[in-house]
Chains A and B, each alone.
Chain A
Amino acid sequence: MDTQEHVELHDLYGNRGSEWHEPVSEEEICERLKRAHEEGRKVAIESGGTKRGYGGARGEYDWTLSLKKYKGIVEHNAGDMTITVKPGTTIAELQRFLQEYGQQVSLDPHWPEQATIGGVISANESGPKRLAYGSARDLVIGLRIVYPDGRIIRTGGKVVKNVAGYDMNKLFIGAMGTLGVISEITMKLRPAPKYESLALVSVPEGEEEKLRLLAVEIQDAMIEPVTLEILTPALAEKLTGTRAFTLLVGYEDVECSVKEQEGWMIHHKPENAVLEILHEEEARKFWERFAVTVPNTHTKEKDLCAVLKAGTKNMDVFTMMTTALDLGISHLVDIEAHGGLGHGISEYVVRGQQDNIIAVIEGLRAAAEQKGGYIVIKQLPFHLRKKVDVWGRNPGHFSLMEGIKKAVDPYGVCNLQRYIGGI
């Protein structure tokens, strides 16, 4: 990254350190944090920074600790289907390494070429396939954490089943780096699918309810899709060329099973719907394009842009999506969105004028909360993060989270104020 771009990014998204450090060993990470702890420094942690616009009420930290150079595979036990990696390894590097063994880490977050495993786990990123394979909390079996005072604490272990002591792994997954630096990650692997395909079902405007019903029917049938991701018309147009609500039904299994499920789909295609099925390489290419459609902090955008994540009950994703489009129309902003009808996570890219974007965020948040869900803002320039709450209201048990932060990081060394309620 050239220096100019670097500075601009910092100014736009905050979460920057005045000094930049790139440790290449765990000892260096320990030393750096120990010093911060002793000298009362505030440290911003990143693995590469695709999520620099994600949370954070501080513009400035004393240091940035970047882990992008602390990367590589530490240990791969092909027979045990486990792998241990350093945090700066990108998702793409990891998958390419495993490909040779016919294995994979079953995580499909955005921007695999740039997003690192450390960042993905810390921000708890997932993709459409979490429907079948779960998210980081289901895959991580062990971590090495450099605590904010420089101690090394291991959590979990290297075996796939383990209930010894508290399940401390869970604390650090999605903690946004506020509880220390993850210096090593052990995950369980899955065999790469023997065959895959992707059915794209789109319906004319006004008939999107048919896709909801189809999704219900699919889930109630004995078929096993790996995705049930719905795309709004604007996002579908970017990916398929057709401006229509589209349901992405993915299959991964042995070939005859995939074919059988495609047959089911052909048989159950709603009236007036268009069905296209992509196989193998075509399906993989589609998912590659899908993974880079939502902007990250490095993407150059003409307009002001916010990225939101919503969590609701599974089928409420559908209502969230239509609510978002209505809000887009009434507040004159462009919205592209996708969400998993079987897993409850949806994502919204909102482009337009500052005040309109904020109004949409608030409207969508109200809709989510009414359904017992939430909205978090995954990306927003720093000056706007002061106007609208990134994480939404604190849960009733927030004091426990504060307590955990205090117990692990009493001096607020790591990513202070990055997370919910300013922890």
Chain B
Amino acid sequence: MKRKKQNKVDPHIRSLTKIVGESEILYKPEDLISYDCDGFTVHKALPKAVVFPKNTEEVAALVQYCHMNHLPFLARGAGTGLSGGAIPLNEEIIISLVKMKQLLCVDYENRQAVVQPGYVNLKLTNSISDKGYYYAPDPSSQYVCTIGGNVAENAGGAHCLKYGVTTNHILGLEVVLPHGEVIEIGGEGAPDSPGYDLMGLLTGSEGTLGIVTKITVRILKSPQGKKTVLAYFDDVEEGSRAVSDIIAAGIVPAALEMMDKTAIEGVEAGTFPVGHPPDIEAFLLIEVDGIMAGLEEQIEQILEVCESWNVREVKVAKSEEERSRWWANRKTGFGAMGAISPDYLVQDGVIPRSRLPEVLKEIEKISRESGLRIANIFHAGDGNLHPLILFDSRVPGETEKALQAGTACLKACADVGGSITGEHGVGIEKKEEMRFIFTEEEIEAQLDIRDVFNPYDLLNQGKLFPKPSRCMDVKKIVKDTVAVQS
């Protein structure tokens, strides 16, 4: 009886099981449901199977198998990606890296650590903070997202204004190429290794060039002091002008975040309210860090700038506890929108900082015209906007309107010389919008590079690049599906 049952199993599943073991594979439809999407829930599709390799050799064996048998496959970390990068569009074998989650070594003298790809971002900082060290890239999802996923998306975070994004902190990678070969890039962490910068190219390639199986990262000494300011403005434009003037004053804040009225309503209704005044139009959350002795002067300058833009109230955090509460309020901002709207869609455009006022006005116009509320929570210091489009998927047509409003926001960013994504990636969500900023020839040039690594396009197929012939279909699929459930 048992035997008969086994015979029904797809031969590929049997072969994959041989590689990872019975307990490390899922293939029954009911087990696959939680893998039908990532943080971009507008599009859903089931994979053929999900496998959980325990080491690089198993990843390589799985990849080799997929390659030889022409099975599409993709890598998955924690599945928090917001652009659909880990969604199986072609019945992929999902290679989940969550069981490769060790911290392999920390070398304080050389300021580096080696981790497996499934290691959770925040765990690294937590493991080294007792010695006064930390890992700088801090996406708001850092308590769950994996460093492998961060490398694939070149993740950013609030403190990337001063310290840079993931790519600035990667020293070495071990990668399984799409045909199963394992390569090491960057050796043991020596900088500038001779030859083209494949490490730079792979970082941010959204899992389309190879599967990262080991990562050497830079770790930093924690700053001696931190000071955090909350500044409330009665006018969004004045708040954004203050952003530019703080930077122009020669200050490099560690973080410079902004939230508008709708967003404030959300976070105050969420899990970590801090008592922001309800009638305020916007606030800035500003942090400076470094040598303690120098911080006071910078804070004074920041306060002066805020005063000059008619700030209603400014507060400097009086304790680490207060500072943490402000940051928790900010970092859980996306999720908090769930408290004021059944659904929301996050966008991720970037603009030159000086164009903030006009683009925020444009977003307001998009909101008015679509009849949907748009909340803005964003990294103001580097011009990285996150318009959160609030909607109700149960209302016919609203999902479609939300998607259109999202595209319009990205167009507004592209039109002032900006980009369509600053940290969340293109995935399947913004494939078409790539055309807002790149010519057909430029996209082709990128595809030429993909072909060097991934000539048969079995790895994470259908992501990142618009396909001329399929562009209308994709829009239609997106149009027909349900949008983000918060």
Contact = CB atoms under 8 A, between A and B. Distances in A.
Query: Are A and B subunits of one complex?
Result: yes
Interface of A: 77-82, 102, 124, 126, 134-135, 137-138, 147, 151, 153-155, 157-171, 173-175, 179, 190-192, 194, 216, 219-224, 253-254, 256-257, 259-261, 309, 311-316, 342-345, 371-374, 376, 391-392, 394-398, 400-401, 403-404, 407-408, 419-421
A102 B443 contact: no
A261 B293 CA distance: 9
B221 A222 contact: yes
Interface in B363-386: 379, 382-384
Interface stretch (B71-79, B259-267, B348-356, B394-402): B348-356
Given A77-B352, A313-B110, A171 B197 contact: yes
B472 interface: no
Q: Give 9 nearest A-B pairs by CB, closest first.
A: A170-B200, A257-B294, A372-B188, A191-B250, A222-B224, A403-B452, A79-B354, A257-B291, A397-B183
Contacts of A400: 177, 183, 196, 198, 452-453
Contacts of A158: 352, 417-418
A138 B218 CA distance: 14
A164 B420 contact: yes
Contacts of A78: 248
B250 A80 contact: no
B191 A407 contact: no
Contacts of A159: 350-352, 382-383, 417-419, 422
A164 B383 contact: no
A24 B32 CA distance: 60
Interface string B447-475: 01111110000000000110000000000
Contacts of B350: 157, 159-162
Nearest to A145: B445
Nearest to B296: A256
Given A80-B353, A256-B297, A401-B196, A162 B421 contact: yes
Nearest to A340: B191
Nearest to A254: B294
A344 B109 contact: no
Nearest to B183: A397
7 contacts: A77-B354, A137-B197, A157-B437, A160-B382, A219-B221, A397-B183, A400-B198
Given A158-B352, A161-B156, A420-B194, A147 B445 contact: yes
Interface in B395-443: 417-426, 430, 434, 437-439, 441-443
Interface in B111-138: 111-112, 132
B419 A224 contact: no
A191 B160 contact: no
Interface string B315-326: 000000000000
B153 interface: yes
Interface string B212-240: 00000000011110000000000000000
Contacts of B434: 164-165
Given A80-B354, A159-B352, A392-B194, A166 B109 contact: no
Given A77-B354, A160-B383, A223 B291 contact: yes
Contact of B248 (A79, A161, A374, A421): A79
A254 B298 contact: yes
Nearest to A373: B190
B45 to A, nearest CB: 23
B201 A79 contact: no
Contacts of A392: 194
A222 B290 CA distance: 8
B192 interface: yes
A42 to B, nearest CB: 20
A369 to B, nearest CB: 9
Nearest to A253: B294
Contact of B452 (A261, A376, A407): A407
Interface string B239-265: 000001001101110000000000000
Nearest to B223: A222
Interface in B179-195: 183-185, 187-195
Given A81-B247, A219-B221, A373-B190, A401 B195 contact: yes
A137 B383 contact: no
Chain B contact residues (Cβ within 8 angstroms of A): what range? Answer: 35 or more
Contacts of B251: 191
A127 to B, nearest CB: 13
A315 B109 CA distance: 7
Contacts of B196: 171, 174-175, 179, 400-401, 404
Given A154-B442, A165-B438, A191-B252, A376 B449 contact: no
Interface stretch (B23-31, B33-41, B164-172): B164-172
Given A77-B352, A158-B417, A191-B252, A397 B198 contact: yes
A272 to B, nearest CB: 23
B203 interface: yes
Contacts of A194: 250
A257 B290 contact: yes
Contacts of B143: none
B430 to A, nearest CB: 8
Contacts of B247: 79, 81
B442 A372 contact: no
B204 interface: yes
Contacts of B203: 167
Contacts of B165: 161
B281 to A, nearest CB: 22
B393 interface: no
Interface in B294-319: 294, 297-298
B195 A154 contact: no
A224 B290 contact: yes
Contact of A222 (B160, B197, B222, B465): B222
A313 B188 contact: yes
A295 B448 CA distance: 39
Contact of B445 (A126, A153, A174, A257): A153
Given A157-B419, A161-B422, A313-B112, A168 B449 contact: yes
B445 A220 contact: no
Nearest to A179: B196
A259 to B, nearest CB: 8
Of the candidates A82, A163, A316, the one having the most CB atoms from chain B within 10 angstroms of its own CB is A163
Nearest to B225: A222
A343 B192 CA distance: 10
Contacts of A309: 192
Contact of A173 (B195, B197, B354): B197
